[in-house]
Structure formats: C-alpha cells, structure tokens
C-alpha cells in the first residue's frame, strides 16, 4: 500500500510550464523532419496528478505527441528515434534524465541525485489519429522493433466517457477510485495512464454503460 494524495493545480503549474517549454524546443528541433501537436491527457488533463510523500517518487505527467506525417515518410522507429534524440538534447538542460524507452512511452525524469529521489516525471506517447481510431508507436522489446498499433479497447473514447461522468456528477467517485487504485498498485510497469483508463471505464460501465 502507498499513501498517494492529489497535487494541487497551483503546485503542478510551474512544472507543467517547464515541460511545455521543453516540448516547444523539441518541436523546433524536429521541424526539419515533421511537426507535431501535444496534449496533456488523462490524470494530468483532469487535474488528478498524485504523489506519495512517503516515497522517493514524485508526481508524473502524461502527454500525447500527435505526429503530422500523413504521407508516412517516416517509419515508427525513425519517428521515435528523432523525438528521443531531441528530448535527450533538450531535457537535461532542465535537470531531466535522458529518455527511458518503454513499451508505450518515452519517459523523462527530474531526479534529485543528492537525496536519491524522483521529483517528477513525464511520459510521452507518440500517437496518430485516423478515421479508424488512434494509433500509437509500440516498442516490442523482445524483437527490438517499433510498430504503429491501434490503442487497445481500455484506452478508447476516454475523453467522452470522462466528460459524461463529470456531467452526471460522478466525478467525486472517479477521484476516490483512482486514488485507491494508485495506492493499491503493486505493478511497477502499470503507469498512471493505465490506472486512469481503468477507473474511467469502470465508473462509466457502472453508471452509464448500456
């Protein structure tokens, strides 16, 4: 069990502003290859950032990077490599570690080495929206390959479901369940965006599912 609590919007604001500055500089770095838009999503979008003051891990942000490459000039690996290299040039100037490459995201961490703790981190998913839905670049670790893959069912339509839950006044329940999931999570590979998706889907199915 952990002891997560919510971070206030005011407390998170300067770190979010810093991340936006980093992303803007990355946009400039990769402009000769492609452009992209970015969106803070999930728990970050809905002011549900959490942290546990009893651990050495700070709070985390979730961002989608939507690539403009309709002609598919770049392969998934090329896109991920270009973005990783750009973040690795920019982020360390702000005290962040080089990118960690996981299945779904690139992650940068702001680490206090003196106290051996993570102050905060940010997960970047590289996505592309099309008529059939949203795809993301998935890293297959065993084969060390990168592919475009459609978002699995739990990640689909989350914004519409979250908006509906807010409209129907179920948001306090969402906040409670999400915090409980964070505190009970024992899987280090299950990130906040996964727990957020679980929470939204469970609450939506319970109250508004058909």
Residue 208 lies in a domain: no
For residue 124, being part of any structural domain is answered with yes
Classify residue 147: in a domain, yes or no. yes
CATH number of the domain encompassing residue 37: 3.30.460.90
In angstroms, rounded to a whole number, what is the distance separating the alpha carbons of residues 131 and 5? 38
Query: 154 or 168, which is more confident?
Result: 168
The pLDDT tens digits for 181-199 are 999 998 877 888 889 999 9
User: Would 182 be classed as within a structural domain?
Assistant: no
∠ Cα 155 109 21 (to 5°):
85
- The answer to whether residue 22 sits within a structural domain is yes
Predicted confidence (pLDDT) per residue in 70-88, tens digit: 888 999 999 999 999 999 9
159 domain residue, yes or no: no
* Mean predicted confidence (pLDDT) in 164-189: 92
How far apart CA 95 and CA 113 sit, in angstroms, is: 10
Query: Quick check: is 23 in a domain?
Result: yes
Question: Domain containing 132: what range?
Answer: 5-152
**25 domain-assigned:** yes
Q: How many domains does the chain have?
A: 1
């Amino acid at each position: 069990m952990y002891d997560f609590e919510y971070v206030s919007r005011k407390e998170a604001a300067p770190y979010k502003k810093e991340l936006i500055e980093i992303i803007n500089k990355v946009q400039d770095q990769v402009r000769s290859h492609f452009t992209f838009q970015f969106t803070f999503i999930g728990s970050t979008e809905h002011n549900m950032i959490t942290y546990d003051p009893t651990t050495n891990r700070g709070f985390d942000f979730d961002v989608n990077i939507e690539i403009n490459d309709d002609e598919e000039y770049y392969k998934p690996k090329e896109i991920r490599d270009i973005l990783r290299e750009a973040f690795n040039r920019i982020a360390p100037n702000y005290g962040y570690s080089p990118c960690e490459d996981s299945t779904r995201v690139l992650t940068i961490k702001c680490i206090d080495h003196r106290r051996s703790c993570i102050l905060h981190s940010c997960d970047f998913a590289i996505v592309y929206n099309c008529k059939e839905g949203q795809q993301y670049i998935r890293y297959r670790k065993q084969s060390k390959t990168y592919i475009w893959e459609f978002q699995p069912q739990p990640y689909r339509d989350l914004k519409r479901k979250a908006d509906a839950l807010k409209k129907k006044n179920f948001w306090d329940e969402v906040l409670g369940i999400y915090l409980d999931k964070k505190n009970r999570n024992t899987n280090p590979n299950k990130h906040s965006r996964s727990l957020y998706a679980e929470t939204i889907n469970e609450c939506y199915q319970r109250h508004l599912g058909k």
